[in-house]
Structure 1
Amino acid sequence: MFGLSLEHLVILLAAALFILGPERLPGAVSQAVRAVRRVRGFAAEAQQQLEAELGPEFQQLRKPLQDLQALREFDPRAALRRHLLDDGPAPATAAPRTLRPGERAPIDSDAT
Structure 2
Amino acid sequence: MFNIGWPEMVILVVAALVILGPERLPGAIRWTAQSLRQVREYASGATSQLRSELGPELDELRKPLEELNELRKPLDELRGMTPRGMVTKHLLGGDDSLFSGNFSKPTSMSPGAGTPPPVPELPDPPKPLAHNEKPPIDFDAT
After TM superposition, the score normalised by the length of structure 2 is 0.47
Read off the aligned partner of 1:57 and give its amino acid letter: E
Distance, in Å, in 2 between the alignment partners of 1:68 and 1:6 is 34
Aligned: 1:3 with 2:29: no
Read off the aligned partner of 2:62 and give its amino acid letter: R
| 1:36-66 deviation per Cα after TM superposition (whole angstroms, max 9, x unaligned) | 0100100100111111110011122233444
Deviation at 1:67, TM superposition (A): 4.5
Distance, in Å, in 2 between the alignment partners of 1:41 and 1:31 is 15
Distance, in Å, in 1 between the alignment partners of 2:107 and 2:18 is 66
Match of 1:51 in 2: 51
Count of equivalent residues: 88
Distance, in Å, in 2 between the alignment partners of 1:67 and 1:17 is 47
Distance, in Å, in 1 between the alignment partners of 2:29 and 2:19 is 13
2:105 to 85, 105, 108: 108
| 1:80-101 deviation per Cα after TM superposition (whole angstroms, max 9, x unaligned) | xxxxxxxxxxxxxxxxxxxxxx
Structure 2 unmatched runs, 5+: 78-99, 109-142
Distance, in Å, in 2 between the alignment partners of 1:31 and 1:46 is 23
Q: What are the equivalent positions in structure 2 for 1:87-98 lying under 5 Å apart?
A: none
Between the aligned residues of both structures, percent identity stands at 46
- Pair member with larger Rg: 2
Distance, in Å, in 1 between the alignment partners of 2:13 and 2:61 is 39
Identify the structure with the greater helix proportion: 1
Label 1:36 to 1:72 Cα distance change in 2 as closer, same or farther (>3 A): farther
Distance, in Å, in 1 between the alignment partners of 2:25 and 2:32 is 11
Structure 1 unmatched runs, 5+: 77-102
Label 1:50 to 1:35 Cα distance change in 2 as closer, same or farther (>3 A): same
Label 1:28 to 1:68 Cα distance change in 2 as closer, same or farther (>3 A): farther
Deviation at 1:12, TM superposition (A): 1.6
Distance, in Å, in 2 between the alignment partners of 1:62 and 1:110 is 43
Distance, in Å, in 2 between the alignment partners of 1:61 and 1:29 is 39
